[in-house]
């Protein structure tokens, strides 16, 4: 009886963890450049004294979906989207370099080029700073140019170049802060083959219909495991009553 109860309890717990991953995907369906996470279940034997007569289920995030999301035209000069594979290098909240597909860039009051979530965009020599300018342009190779205040329409000054990288997917992982990072802790080198399109952004690659279906399936699995725990409890109570009459 205890095996039935243990397996059901553990399965319900792991189903809740899978539901949390799926809910996070669904919550970020409208987040620019978001990459959804996969989740899967697998069984694990419980090792200890004696024979491994118990097993438990484990949910895990085996990988991140790096498929490109839909490209949306905004017409905004500071909006960019990666064409094909690649990432924009940014400075994470912890100071480490990370990578994102979020191209809704902005300029802060202090002249810092940041993403829509406030992460500092990295250039070839470090963070990119934008002085006061009449207009800002971002080229196909990530070159940031400005038209200084008082300059003519054809007078552009090149400031820096956004660090664009293209590491192999097997060499990166999605960190807890949502940024992509190198597995070995290093920094990916600039890749001149990565191109961007100005005036566009890439939407999340979450399939909302699929996420909703998964949410319903996981909820049904959880309810089934709860019923199994109730059945185990009822069987235990029935066994106790039989022993009382003997």
Q: What is the DSSP string of 83-98?
A: ESS-EEEEE-TTS-EE
- Is 60 exceeded by the pLDDT of residue 246? no
Same domain, yes or no, for 196 and 215? no
Same domain, yes or no, for 160 and 235? no
pLDDT > 70: what percent of the chain?
A: 94
Same domain, yes or no, for 21 and 45? yes
Q: Higher model confidence: residue 2 or residue 179?
A: 179
Q: How many domains in the chain?
A: 2
Same domain, yes or no, for 151 and 188? yes
| The two structure tokens encoding residue 79 | 């909006």
| The two structure tokens encoding residue 31 | 């987040």
Same domain, yes or no, for 86 and 191? yes
Nearest CA-CA partner of 65 in 36, 87, 43: 36
Q: Name the residue range of residue 167's domain.
A: 71-202
Q: What is the pLDDT of residue 244?
A: 73
Residue 64's DSSP bridge partners are 37
Same domain, yes or no, for 158 and 94? yes
Assess contact for 17 and 209: CB atoms under 8 A. Answer: no
Distance, in Å, from the CA atom of 105 to the CA atom of 113, rounded to the nearest integer, reads 7
Distance, in Å, from the CA atom of 169 to the CA atom of 101, rounded to the nearest integer, reads 14
Same domain, yes or no, for 172 and 96? yes
- Is 80 exceeded by the pLDDT of residue 1? no
Q: What is the pLDDT of residue 172?
A: 95
pLDDT grade, residue 53 (50/70/90)? low
Same domain, yes or no, for 215 and 174? no
């Amino acid at each position: 009886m205890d095996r039935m109860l243990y397996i059901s309890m553990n399965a319900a717990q792991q189903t809740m963890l899978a539901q949390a991953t799926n809910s996070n995907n669904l919550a970020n369906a409208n987040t620019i450049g978001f990459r959804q996470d996969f989740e899967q279940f697998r069984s694990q034997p419980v090792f200890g004294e004696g024979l491994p007569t118990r097993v438990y289920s484990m949910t895990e995030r085996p990988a991140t979906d790096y498929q490109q999301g839909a490209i949306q035209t905004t017409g905004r000069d500071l909006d960019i989207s990666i064409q094909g594979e690649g990432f924009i290098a940014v400075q994470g909240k912890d100071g480490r370099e990370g990578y994102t597909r979020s191209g809704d860039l902005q300029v802060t009051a202090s002249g810092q080029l940041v993403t829509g979530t406030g992460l500092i965009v990295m250039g070839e020599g470090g963070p990119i700073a934008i002085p006061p300018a009449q207009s800002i342009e971002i080229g196909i190779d990530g070159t940031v140019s400005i038209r200084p205040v008082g300059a003519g329409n054809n007078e552009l000054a090149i400031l820096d170049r956004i660090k664009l990288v293209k590491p192999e997917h097997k060499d990166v992982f999605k960190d807890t802060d949502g940024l992509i990072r190198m597995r070995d802790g290093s920094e990916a080198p600039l890749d001149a083959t990565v191109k961007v399109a100005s005036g566009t952004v890439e939407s999340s690659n979450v399939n909302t219909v699929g996420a909703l279906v998964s949410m319903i399936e996981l909820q049904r699995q959880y309810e089934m495991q709860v019923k199994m725990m109730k059945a185990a409890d009822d069987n235990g109570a029935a066994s106790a009553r039989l022993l009382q009459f003997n």
